[in-house]
A and B are shown apart, each in its own frame.
Chain A
Amino acid sequence: DAGVIQSPRHEVTEMGQEVTLRCKPISGHDYLFWYRQTMMRGLELLIYFNNNVPIDDSGMPEDRFSAKMPNASFSTLKIQPSEPRDSAVYFCASSPGMAGELFFGEGSRLTVL
């Protein structure tokens, strides 16, 4: 398996633009997590899915953020409109089960100017 695949690896955009980050989890993993990493706040959990269903989105910072998982092999995290304070590395991770190891993707580095 190629592991968790994220795209794009780098995104530079201007304030107000829509940003869509994509994730393909490891086949057979039932859980998918979206984390945001910044120097100040470390790794923050934004939202997670179990069997494609959003379970907890309490970490999503604002209504500007939304996430979907239309099927077991694809998830998106969307920011609309983007702001400079959204600049961070966004990681997607998948896991085979409860309290299982998280397998992280390479991350998407977002810069909002």
Chain B
Amino acid sequence: GENVEQHPSTLSVQEGDSAVIKCTYSDSASNYFPWYKQELGKRPQLIIDIRSNVGEKKDQRIAVTLNKTAKHFSLHITETQPEDSAVYFCAAREGDTDKLIFGTGTRLQVFP
């Protein structure tokens, strides 16, 4: 089955700096890679996703890149703000199934 690894587990940045979170996956048949943001005590919510026929996708200050050959994908947040502080989870859909397998999460702290 699919295995998703995520790094780093914690990340601290100064407001205005960029943050990068990286994930690797094991199932070469995976074709859907979403990112979820979970604020303290809240539910995870989708912030951006990418499918395997695309190498990069941007939405304002966030972007995701995908390298299918290397089986890794990354989340990039530019011009970070204190409200970006949260736990971010990457995920991969396993093969042709509907199973979404999550990484272990990255706790991002943005200091003013």
Contacts and interface: CB of A to CB of B under 8 A. Distances in A.
A42 B1 CA distance: 17
A105 B93 contact: no
Interface residues of A, number: 23
A91 B31 CA distance: 24
B52 to A, nearest CB: 10
Interface residues of B, number: 23
Contacts of A35: 102
Interface in B31-54: 31-32, 34, 36, 42-46, 49, 51
- Interface residues of chain A: helix, strand, loop or mixed (majority): strand
A48 B9 CA distance: 27
A105 B43 contact: yes
Interface string A24-51: 0000000101010000011111001010
Contacts of A42: 89, 102-105
Interface of A: 31, 33, 35, 41-45, 48, 50, 55-56, 58, 91, 95, 98-99, 101-102, 104-107
Given A42-B89, A42-B102, 19 more contacts: A31-B98, A33-B100, A41-B104, A42-B104, A42-B105, A44-B102, A45-B100, A56-B97, A91-B43, A98-B98, A99-B31, A99-B51, A101-B46, A101-B49, A102-B34, A102-B36, A102-B46, A102-B100, A104-B44
